[in-house]
Amino acid sequence: MKIILRILIIISLSYGQVDYSSQVQPIFNQDCTSCHGGSGGLTLNSYEELMKGGNSGAVIVAGNATSSLLVQRLDGSVTPKMPQGGSLPDSTIDLIKQWINEGAIEAVSITEEELLPLLFEVDGNFPNPFNPLTRIVISSRTKVEGRAMITTASGTAVFDFGTVQMHPGTNSLVWNGEDNTGRRLASGPYLFIFKNSDLILSHRMILLK
Ligand code: HEC
């Protein structure tokens, strides 16, 4: 029996937009939270704390990276430069700047639902509900490249597969219920999302512990 779950959703994101939880937060976890981990002043453990700011107030000005204190402390235009005692590669600073210039949003926002031509479809994920692994099966009639990721039901990205090529025929991706840092996620519904500049395809899955 072939169960076809076909919820195709257009997301207000274009391909290439920086995602906070899978791309920005990991930088803070690696280079900043040893000092900015909640012992006072600026805390960089989460989006909410980042946006709350530090002793000088807000460190992010959404849409304006050059006016954001966080960027000024990373590029050294305001001293002392961060991370204290070191520096981030330019490419990493550029990624943070891009995220701020794109509006410094936390979550992928789902704005519109629409059925798209059946160029490719998610046949399902097996098993579902799953624990610990599930295989997401996608049939495609054509070669398509896009970004594959997992989000919570409300659209916050939790795992990024990166750029993925779908080939004509049956394709599959395996997800182990962990985020990009290897942390096991809570039980509940998650969305598999595949997107490129033309479309977004999404499929709902249940992780059960
Ligand atoms: C070794 C410890 C250490 C690390 C690592 C570190 N910081 Fe800091 N940071 C500090 C201290 C101490 C202050 C407060 C004193 C000051 O402003 O210089 C500070 C202040 C800041 C401020 C100004 C906050 C305010 O409200 O004035 C920002 C923004 C900042 N850090 C960002 C970062 C970022 C982003 C990283 C990671 C890329 C980072 N820091 C890594 C120690 C650190």
* pLDDT per position as a tens digit, 64-85: 999 999 999 999 999 999 999 9
Report the alpha-carbon distance of residue 52 to residue 57 in Å, rounded: 8
Higher-pLDDT residue of 6 and 118 is: 118
Which two tokens mark 27? Answer: 């930088």
pLDDT band (50, 70, 90) for residue 163: very high
pLDDT at res. 113:
37
Going from the Cα of 180 to the center of ligand 1, the distance in angstroms, rounded, reads 24
Residue 47's alpha-carbon distances to 50, 62, 66, 134, in angstroms, are 5, 13, 19, 28
Report the alpha-carbon distance of residue 33 to residue 195 in Å, rounded: 31
Query: Is 138 touching ligand 1 by the criterion CB < 6 Å?
Result: no
Query: Is 75 touching ligand 1 by the criterion CB < 6 Å?
Result: no
pLDDT band (50, 70, 90) for residue 12: very low
Residue 195 burial (C-beta neighbours within 10 Å; 0-12, 13-18, 19+): buried
Going from the Cα of 83 to the center of ligand 1, the distance in angstroms, rounded, reads 6
pLDDT at res. 124:
87
pLDDT band (50, 70, 90) for residue 108: low
Listed range (12-26, 48-62, 109-123, 153-167) with the worst mean pLDDT: 109-123
31-35 mean pLDDT: 96
Going from the Cα of 32 to the center of ligand 1, the distance in angstroms, rounded, reads 7
* pLDDT per position as a tens digit, 125-162: 999 999 989 999 988 877 888 999 999 988 889 999 99
87-99 mean pLDDT: 95
Query: Is 157 touching ligand 1 by the criterion CB < 6 Å?
Result: no
pLDDT at res. 112:
37
Query: Is 96 touching ligand 1 by the criterion CB < 6 Å?
Result: no
pLDDT at res. 160:
94
* pLDDT per position as a tens digit, 196-207: 877 778 889 999
Burial 106-129 (b: 16+ CB within 10 A, else e): bbbebeeeeeeeeebbbbbbeebe
